[in-house]
Structure 1
Amino acid sequence: MEITKTRPRTVTFAGSLQLLFALAFLIAPVLGLIYGADVQSAAEAELARQGLSPSVLAENNLHFDEGGYAMVLPVTTAVIAAILAWLTLAGKRVGRILTLIVQPFFLALDVFVLTSQLSKVQFLQSILGAGANAQAVLDASERVYPAWLLAVSDGRLVFTPLASLVVIVLLLLPSARAYFRK
């Protein structure tokens, strides 16, 4: 007769956070697919308004629309996080072990994403040159998205690193260790 253990709330919370983390990484790609062409057009129109060639973006391999390789990282991250969440919630020991290995990488990814978001104006300005207004190009492209997206994006930048830290801590607690012990 097999004895089933009751899953501790700490493990349930950790798995739930992993699922929310996965969903958070899908926000940008999904909205990029929906609004991407319009966002790209808005950025190119702003460049033309400033007297710059819209082709400067393509020449520097910059795309405001999500697609191709730009989808790989967020979608892969979301899929891995969802699998880890399923393993965690299913009480699989390998889920805890893999989470404790992978989640720090997710945390590093979060720091990279945050850093890139904070430096996107400077990066675009370096490509466009001193005569351009990079902030205006970004503003024009961001106006295409729904108004609520900025709040959600900012929330995601705060939520995902905190979620990573909390998941790691929760799975290191004695209740989680005992639950996953064979």
Structure 2
Amino acid sequence: MNAFIAAMQLSVAGAFVSIPVVRARFGATATASAHAELRRQGVRTTVLEENGMRFDAGGHETWAPVGIATVLAATAGLNLAGSSWAGALNWIVLGLVLAINCVILYSNLTATTSVQAAFSRKGDPDLARIDVAALLKAAEAGFPRWVWILQNARHVVVFGAAGLALTAAALA
């Protein structure tokens, strides 16, 4: 059972690492597309960076998923080693991963609204006049179409594998 739980944890870890890998590979193109849209809207292209909005693998877009993957890999190692800590950590780590992935999914589904709200809170007049839907659509166009499939597959893997691991832990 421990090997199965570890395999599920490593699957979830791989799903989380896919985020910075895709952003590292295609983030510059997405940023260029977003900048082109800002120019079309008559907004300075530096406004995104000045306000912490990125489409590449920088900042929390790398350290958060890599950190989560590292914790999952460590917990998987404890499961494989038969550590007495593994059982409790499975519940804590996988429970947190499910909660975090719910937040990520919600963020994906409400991106336009939440970015508009964040831009409004900043008080920058250039941010306030951005057509956020058009900006996000332009940035999304900078990623290959298969990234949308990967994003959804990532959610299926995270929810499915974490759920299977917790079920296995409950049955153990």
TM-score, normalisation: structure 1: 0.81
- Alpha-carbon distance in 2 for matches of 1:25, 1:33: 14
Matched, 1:14 2:5: yes
Residue matched to 1:135: 133
Counterpart residue number, 2:59? 68
What residue is the counterpart of 1:155 in the other structure?
153
CA deviations 1:59-90 (Å, max 9, x no partner) are 32211111134311100000111111222133
Say which SS state the counterpart of residue 85 (structure 2) adopts.
Answer: helix
Q: Deviations over 1:1-29 (max 9, x none)?
A: xxxxxxxxx43332211111000000110
Identity %: 34
Aligned to 1:168: 166
When Rg is computed on C-alpha atoms for both structures, the one with the higher figure is 1
Amino acid at match of 1:119: T
Match of 1:28 in 2: 19
Q: CA deviation at 1:109?
A: 0.7
Q: Which residue of 1 aligns with 2:78?
A: 87
Note the residue ranges of structure 1 that are not aligned, 5 or more in a row. 1-9, 177-182
Letter in 1 for 2:30: V
Q: How many residues align?
A: 164
Work out whether residues 16 and 68 of structure 2, in 8 Å CA contact, stay in contact via their aligned partners in 1. Answer: yes
**Unpaired segments of 5 or more residues in structure 2?**
120-126
Contact 2:19–2:61 under 8 Å retained in 1: no
From 116, 139, 142, the counterpart of 2:107: 116
Give distance in 1, aligned partners of 2:170 and 2:36.
51
Cα distance in structure 1, aligned partners of 2:131 and 2:17: 30
* Higher RCO (C-alpha 8 Å, min separation 6): 2
Q: Which residue of the partner structure matches residue 107 of structure 1?
A: 98
Aligned to 2:142: 144
Determine helix, strand or coil for the equivalent of 1:164. helix
